[in-house]
Structure 1
């Protein structure tokens, strides 16, 4: 596919010249009675669709010279037909130049917006650390919006005094409003992760921040995780798909909370605080946090993506390569563009060296 696009682009660039050549041959073969001469204006017309204004003007000049040459050959300047053909070429050329100028301005504006989006991506969804405490991390993000780099999914890893803390979340909705909400959640998480001594306090800080920003019934599903000195991961789940733990033997488990907390933005009116829950997480094992763009992806028959059955794809020794293999399998499974943002955060517990103390950080 990548090789086909440049070939297609080169074909479009040569199309104006090819069209004018066909018009010239057809006019010479058919004679002046058929009236092919006005079709010479197709050259600058096609040039205006795919090239800049200078290129369009040059093709317009070439079409005008071709029109004069064919008009003299056919003897059409003894009547109005030759002059009308020249007027049509000039008119189409002017329109093509104007269209090329406007398209150039729009492309410049789009390039500026894309550069701003790239900066926003680095600020909002900055790269996670390759290592954090005893963990190795890798992340994958695919936006459902064409040409977009960021969307409503969010992730972060913070090495705090209380352990390594992670968040993966999904903002209701799409577009710039979802990006703005994601920025609020990530900003609150990055600050509170260092200050709050436990996940419940961290979750309450996030809840207050989101409640101040969101209006109506908008919400954010999220799962918070913490890995400390003990060989376990502690979770707090706000209506989010459960994490996947991959044991050393390759089997996958999905730790479920005793009760799901309401999504962030809806929890201030609920009674009681959400309850954290723990699952064993030892060296050599893997933890995958993800959004519903992964778990609810469907194939052409409407079947959900079998994430648990794909745990074997994470066997690559490099975490980044393992996550890439899982993402590529997800794309093949859906056989088309994603219908929702899809974020995945893979965490691997380092194996201890023989001289390292068990449970050490």
Structure 2
């Protein structure tokens, strides 16, 4: 396995956010109020093939009283995990700052997963909707927590270092890929995979620096795409064969990892002002120019990206096989990894725009999901 320590290019430094996590779970049925009902996407010339729904709604169906951001979605599009500073999304939402919630769209329920005293990183929901991983500051170090949706069960996911961060989950939540950081102040880091069922840990890669390393695991836990921030390289590790391939972008190009598709077939990365979708089977890359890739659906067929051209839509979903594109949002909006359900049917995003759904008067950022028929 290759260990990258030699190249001098400096990647982006990402500071760990300070957040103290107090984990709990409260489930509340949300009535089907008008403010939460799907409506055509505002401003789209032809919205007959899609609808948009606000996810960050209060227990009585009204808008949240605080900013809501992020959003990761299950494979079938049923459940969405997101962060919110709103205090009225469930009856019990103590503390200040962001909390983590899961919305079950089929059951019309919202579950409070955590409360924190400061900002927390965006949560990650497993593909089957059973677990949510999050990370934040616990005393002096960051820690990863895995909570079971619908219960008070919380598992602390240990790592070999002082701090654990940037978790990525397999579809069933069994495998947690994360970054372990060593030293105080931090001086080196390791990417590893925890099988919390078996209680085992496997090392993916080690770096003698703390510049922007992070993993993305496939749905079955076999493949781990990872980034060496200082070398600006992206690799893929096969846990079954214990081999690492890459850099997938080639020897002379700098790259930043976005994510691997859950079926392990595609890896999305950024290079310069462009996005590339690397095919693991053929070794070829598909170029999406002048765009920032944000997420790929579990089947590897649909890419969510943000065009650099700010005169058009802010979020676009592309069918990688046909090239057909659909507008997700033509208002200012953002999205992260794991925000597209299988087949590109649902896309989660957040926006502070007040005309995506009717009656948006809270002046806050809200989380939405757009469904394509």
Q: Do both share a fold (TM > 0.5)?
A: no
Q: Which has the higher helix share?
A: 1
Q: Say which one has the larger Rg.
A: 1
TM-score (norm 2): 0.28
Q: Which has the higher strand share?
A: 2
TM-score (norm 1): 0.28
